[in-house]
Structure 1
């Protein structure tokens, strides 16, 4: 069910409270994607090396996804938080030598590891030891930092309706509680506008599986349209003790 999918997606989101402020963490790279098959192997996850890479990165403080998994909405919204993990085998006689790169959203290498080596005879043992050794001494402090322009933020400024948006006469009317909103197309996306003062309450950016990233001034959520046109928004309320998932329904009128 779509609602169940949204809830699963939000379990993967970074903590985001209703009164959240921009993050002050110095490490802008929070996510890493690991391929399920390395280029120098013939099989997926050969010698369980890909899963081991995931575990080693998690131990360094990253949230890690395999390239066969769906990425969380936070990454879809700010893709430059994600690094790609690339593992290379270095030719050598009588030993295994591995070295990894972390690559940013522009295709630039932001970190190259030391060469990890192993002289063990069994392939699985030697590859495992070489990979572990390539991680020795590596920390998130070694990474080049993203510029402040690339980091996610939650602006407190009120946005007003732009004249560049598609003809306002094509708006759809929605109601939540006693407030009427206009849903206006903005290219492939939408803006949800408060009818009383024509201020932008939220933006809806197209994601996947018929869902939208719902960005309001006070919270971040995921949204989808019901068959009758009603708009459903799911978000995590981290002000609650159990960090519960909440739902808002905008009724089409």
Structure 2
């Protein structure tokens, strides 16, 4: 009987969250969470934005220009926060979505990781926390506000400048060599050009190239290294051999 009562309590709680969170379409992610020492430390802020988009939200960083329909409507959006509960051997975080009055609209369970490297640990823990969204069945219940779109004036495109050094070049291959937590990517010399760390998802890695942290993923049989630079998403093709 107690188990049935507990199940009903959880079901009602999830339903209440759903009824409330479905009223919101946009989520604003801060450039720096309370426990971070710098903007996007451990790439948590970018990853939070991307994972929210994965589950159907329209998410923006506070450093990005907001759409006109929400720019002056502070209470029509949710605000993301991360809370941590770390121990000596474990990194734990959970996601909290609040309204403009600081009322919690939804929060996930804590996701955890035992990895020692902070970048890997926080990324794994955050992805684990987002698994709570699988049971949320989020779907925006409101109507999208239509904004008047000004006529498009044709602009002569400027020639694209070549991207950074791991951009795919015809005939150039990079080799992924196994490591304890993933792979190291080397060129023909061989010189290590970046490192890949395993995640809970197949064909998705945390990519670290110098001071740049991002995601390496397989899309339509093509590998890409994706990261943000000055608020702009950069997607570089990679030709990898495992």
Q: Higher RCO, 1 or 2 (CA under 8 Å, sep at least 6)?
A: 1
TM-score (norm. length: structure 1): 0.46
- TM-score when normalising by structure 2: 0.48
Q: Which of the pair has more CA radius of gyration?
A: 1
